[in-house]
């Protein structure tokens, strides 16, 4: 076997899973990570008995590929399924918290949509497919065309706010939800597609799962990194990458204590966030102007307000995943997760933990407020909607000045730039959430 020396930049989920995949191929892998821990966006913090996730709260398992990945590294046996109660989800409509329908009967009785909105939704199977295949169609255009304006405003707008901290108008359907795009192409309708198991049914598992871990999502990269022959080099920020004589990659980093580390590799795989790429000095790269294109991914700012209460302080039973807020409701928050309902051990006994999302593409300016004001907005909105008495017994804020990369109209150019750079610089690959997509399964490579 021809062993290659492979350098991977970044020990987030993308970097570690690529590292494992290359080790399995017999390559000699070194991962460089600027922080003193692995995981990148995945970070779990415990304070005063409350367990908080700064990045992803859950991993959604829907495909065989994700199951195979987790089985291969013996991760699945450590997974913790979300409590059954959390299959119930809420939205806000006319200042009230309303549960989303979970079946045809509850759909008919639900006040989530008006009678006109429900009729429009039911017309979906009779709407013809778009003639030009809707190649650059936004999520908002697709939903309004097939399901009607009300589903866009009260279903999809809050959902996209919760998943991407973005607006459906900014997301390009074929990148953000390729299976929905393919379902329309294949079956002409989402309804008929669902009846027939959707596009590529063989890749899906019969019962999807929503999981986390006892120690929070940080456990996933920790467990994966522990399986590497060569553990990631922590606390080493890569500063310079030089492509020499069209064959060799000279990688230079600086350790936390100011020492310069230099090493030569056959391959460099970069999984850094797009906003970290222009902090590196790239030397001798062909078509280096394309690196600038890669930095254009928009990551809306996002604040996560963690607030703990005694159970008895909250009138609402918190019997669900949480609630999302449609933009039309003109509130300061995007939504609140009922974190301690979702998974056990997220709060001390008789206490609950709420995680409230603020800012995003909808209200980026709110992330510039002082921390106590952001926490104050979260508290007042939850107080009003959930019937809270008294003040939180625990508060903590995590601010992401750049949160989740949006699969927007710039993604096509960014993907082309990444593949051209690979073609023109032997041994270079640019991957990661800004190219492959932000959901965790997209960051897992077998």
Ligand X SMILES: Cc1cc2nc3c(=O)[nH]c(=O)nc-3n(C[C@H](O)[C@H](O)[C@H](O)COP(=O)(O)OP(=O)(O)OC[C@H]3O[C@@H](n4cnc5c(N)ncnc54)[C@H](O)[C@@H]3O)c2cc1C
Q: What residues line the site for ligand X (CB under 6 A)? A: 9-15, 32-35, 40-42, 55-59, 237-238, 271-273, 276, 280, 302, 400, 403-404, 432-433, 438-440, 443
Query: Could you tell me which of 129, 112, 130 has the C-alpha nearest to residue 121?
Result: 112
Q: How far lies 359's CA from each of 16, 21, 162, 300, 369, in Å?
A: 30, 36, 11, 8, 10
Would you give the DSSP letter of residue 155?
Answer: I
Q: Which residues contact 77 (CB under 8 A, 6 or more apart)?
A: none
Residue 353 backbone phi and psi in degrees, to 5: -120, 130
- Closest CB to ligand X among residues 10, 168: 10
Q: Name the strand (E) or helix (H) holding 178.
A: helix 178-187
- Closest CB to ligand X among residues 358, 388: 358
Residue 96 C-beta: closest distance to ligand X, Å: 26
- Closest CB to ligand X among residues 189, 218: 218
- Closest CB to ligand X among residues 107, 282: 282
Residue 144 C-beta: closest distance to ligand X, Å: 26
- Closest CB to ligand X among residues 351, 403: 403
Residue 58 C-beta: closest distance to ligand X, Å: 5
10: buried, middle or exposed (CB in 10 Å: 19+, 13-18, 0-12)? buried
- Closest CB to ligand X among residues 42, 190: 42
Strands 302-310 and 260-265: unpaired
Q: How far lies 19's CA from each of 97, 156, 364, in Å?
A: 45, 36, 35
Q: Which residues contact 388 (CB under 8 A, 6 or more apart)?
A: 309, 313, 314, 315, 379, 382
Residue 145 C-beta: closest distance to ligand X, Å: 27
Residue 277 C-beta: closest distance to ligand X, Å: 9
Residue 435 C-beta: closest distance to ligand X, Å: 9
Would you give the DSSP letter of residue 312?
Answer: G
Residue 163 C-beta: closest distance to ligand X, Å: 7
Are 265 and 29 in contact by the 8 Å Cβ rule? The answer is no
Are 265 and 425 in contact by the 8 Å Cβ rule? The answer is no
Q: How far apart are CA 58 and CA 217, in angstroms?
A: 7
Residue 234 C-beta: closest distance to ligand X, Å: 9
- Closest CB to ligand X among residues 42, 268: 42
Are 59 and 217 in contact by the 8 Å Cβ rule? The answer is yes
Q: How far lies 426's CA from each of 27, 245, 285, 345, in Å?
A: 16, 11, 10, 48
User: The tokens of 400 are what?
Assistant: 């992401």
Q: How far lies 305's CA from each of 53, 196, 360, 391, 398, in Å?
A: 11, 41, 13, 14, 7
- Closest CB to ligand X among residues 42, 294: 42
Residue 54 C-beta: closest distance to ligand X, Å: 7
- Closest CB to ligand X among residues 18, 173: 18
Q: How far lies 192's CA from each of 131, 189, 198, in Å?
A: 18, 5, 8
- Closest CB to ligand X among residues 10, 117: 10
Residue 384 C-beta: closest distance to ligand X, Å: 24
Residue 244 C-beta: closest distance to ligand X, Å: 20
- Closest CB to ligand X among residues 127, 234: 234
Q: How far apart are CA 335 and CA 376, in angstroms?
A: 15
């Amino acid at each position: 076997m021809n062993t290659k020396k492979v350098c991977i930049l970044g020990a987030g989920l993308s970097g570690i899973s690529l590292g494992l995949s290359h080790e399995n191929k017999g390559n000699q892998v070194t991962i460089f990570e600027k922080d003193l821990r692995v995981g990148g966006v995945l970070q779990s913090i415990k304070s005063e008995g409350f367990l908080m996730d700064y990045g992803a709260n859950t991993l959604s398992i829907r495909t065989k590929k994700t199951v195979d990945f987790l089985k291969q590294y013996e991760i699945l046996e450590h997974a913790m399924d979300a409590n059954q109660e959390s299959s119930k989800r809420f939205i806000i409509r006319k200042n009230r918290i309303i549960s989303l329908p979970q079946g045809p009967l509850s759909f008919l009785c639900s006040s989530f949509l008006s009678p006109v909105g429900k009729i429009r939704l039911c017309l979906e199977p009779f709407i013809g497919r778009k003639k030009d295949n809707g190649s650059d169609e936004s999520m908002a255009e697709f939903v309004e065309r097939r399901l009607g304006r009300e589903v866009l405003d009260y279903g999809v707008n809050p959902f996209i706010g919760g998943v991407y901290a973005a607006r459906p108008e900014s997301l390009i359907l074929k990148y953000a939800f390729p299976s929905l795009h393919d379902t329309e192409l294949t079956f002409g309708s989402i309804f008929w597609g669902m009846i027939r198991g959707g596009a590529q049914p063989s890749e899906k598992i019969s019962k999807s799962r929503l999981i986390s871990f006892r120690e929070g999502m940080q456990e996933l990269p920790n467990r994966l990194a522990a399986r590497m022959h060569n553990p990631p080099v922590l606390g080493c920020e890569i500063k310079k990458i030089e492509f020499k004589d069209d064959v060799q990659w000279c990688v230079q980093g600086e350790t936390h204590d100011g020492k310069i580390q230099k090493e030569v590799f056959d391959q460099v795989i970069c999984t850094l966030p797009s906003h970290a790429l222009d902090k590196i000095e790239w030397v001798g790269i062909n078509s280096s102007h394309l690196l600038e294109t890669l930095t254009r991914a928009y990551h809306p700012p996002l604040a996560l307000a963690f607030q703990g209460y005694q159970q008895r302080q909250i009138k609402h039973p918190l019997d669900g995943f949480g609630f999302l807020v449609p933009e039309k409701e003109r509130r300061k928050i995007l939504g609140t997760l009922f974190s301690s309902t979702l998974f056990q051990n997220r709060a001390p006994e008789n206490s609950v933990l709420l995680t409230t999302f603020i800012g995003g593409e909808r209200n980026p300016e709110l992330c510039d407020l002082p921390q106590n004001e952001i926490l104050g907005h979260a508290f007042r909105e939850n107080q009003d909607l959930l019937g809270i008495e008294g003040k939180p017994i625990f508060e903590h804020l995590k601010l992401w000045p750049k949160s989740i990369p949006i699969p927007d109209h710039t993604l096509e150019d960014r993907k082309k730039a990444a593949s051209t750079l690979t073609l023109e610089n032997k041994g270079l690959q640019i991957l990661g959430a800004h190219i492959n997509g932000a959901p965790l399964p997209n960051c897992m490579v077998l």
